């Protein structure tokens, strides 16, 4: 098999930063769960049943690895978590537990911290990404997950809202079919597993490329990653990205922007930008998320 070319932006040779030992799997939503057959998607020759979730299971390490499902983003956490418990068991994972964290006090409970400590893989379900950041921000649970991600060979996955919350900045609201009006797109600080990266999901299905572009125009140092449904990125070494799944990943690189009016116009007016770079990546394509050497103030 011919190895596909790595797409990359400018990366300095020397970086004074920690390289995480863990992996991230950000999923664009509606990942195939084996409920249908491949012939239900005849237009997509890349379709492989349960491909994304099978990859998550394949990346688990250890004997009898434990998968921890976190349904915090969902308004129906029992149903959301049970779907994944059943699915992972069907995929051969016998040890599946649920951290039913519903508020900030829950995110500091010792029993959930112990689950995080022992997990080989963590799965954030879909729902509302703002619930994730509002509940986990500054919590002991999030600190424990970040420590595991930095220092151990864990895989942390999220689908839909669970994927969008992995990055900083985090898009949490906007006009799905619009985004070309200044002020349409709302952002906040995400869970910060990936910094200077903005992740958006259901990307092509819901026409979100313009709202992603607005997010990048407000700070061109950030890289925008748009995930289509049933499509994911597997991130290793903190920035080496591989596409997994049946759809496309869109990368929006704003470092080369030559002109934009985003800082001149009033809210409610359409913004413009010139000089953007856009990459479209499919299954097995790779991309190196740029890490720029900057002075970090504590």
Which residues belong to the active site? 160, 202, 229
DSSP string, 61-95: -SSSPEEEEE-TT-SSHHHHHHHHHHHHHHTT--E
Please give the structure tokens belonging to residue 257: 């922007």
User: What are the beta bridge partners of residue 260?
Assistant: 273
Sign of the CA dihedral with 59 first, then 77, 185, and 227 last: positive
Sign of the CA dihedral with 67 first, then 165, 58, and 21 last: negative
User: What are the beta bridge partners of residue 241?
Assistant: 235, 287
Instruction: Give the integer Cα–Cα distance in Å for 77 and 70.
Output: 8
Please give the structure tokens belonging to residue 21: 């030992």
End-to-end Cα, the chain, rounded Å: 46
Cα 255 to chain center, whole Å?
Answer: 21
The angle that helices 77-90 and 51-58 make with each other, rounded to 10 degrees, is 70
Please give the structure tokens belonging to residue 141: 């649970």
Please give the structure tokens belonging to residue 50: 């349960």
């Amino acid at each position: 098999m011919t190895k596909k070319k790595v797409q990359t932006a400018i990366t300095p040779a020397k970086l004074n930063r920690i390289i995480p030992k863990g992996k991230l799997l950000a999923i664009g939503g509606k990942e195939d769960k084996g409920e249908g057959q491949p012939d239900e998607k005849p237009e997509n020759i890349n379709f492989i049943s349960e491909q994304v979730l099978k990859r998550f299971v394949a990346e688990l390490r250890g004997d009898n690895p434990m998968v921890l499902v976190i349904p915090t983003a969902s308004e129906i956490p029992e149903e959301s978590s049970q779907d994944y418990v059943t699915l992972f068991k069907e995929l051969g994972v016998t040890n599946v537990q649920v951290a039913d964290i519903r508020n900030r006090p829950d995110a500091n409970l010792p029993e959930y911290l112990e689950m995080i400590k022992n997990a080989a893989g963590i799965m954030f379900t879909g729902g509302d990404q703002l619930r994730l950041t509002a509940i986990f921000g500054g919590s002991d649970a999030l600190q424990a997950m970040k420590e595991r991600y930095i220092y151990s060979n864990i895989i942390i996955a999220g689908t839909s809202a669970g994927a969008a919350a992995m990055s900083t900045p985090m898009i949490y609201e906007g006009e799905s079919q619009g985004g070309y009006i200044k002020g349409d797109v709302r952002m906040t600080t995400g869970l910060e597993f990936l910094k200077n990266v903005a992740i958006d999901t259901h990307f092509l299905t819901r026409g979100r490329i313009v709202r992603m572009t607005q997010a990048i125009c407000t700070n061109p140092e950030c890289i925008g990653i748009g995930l289509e449904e049933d499509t994911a990125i597997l991130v290793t070494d903190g920035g080496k990205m591989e596409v997994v799944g049946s759809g496309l990943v869109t990368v929006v690189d704003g470092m080369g922007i030559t002109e934009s009016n985003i800082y001149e116009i009033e809210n409610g007016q359409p913004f413009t930008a010139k000089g953007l770079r856009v990459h479209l990546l499919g299954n097995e394509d790779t991309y190196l998320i740029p890490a720029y050497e900057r002075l970090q103030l504590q």
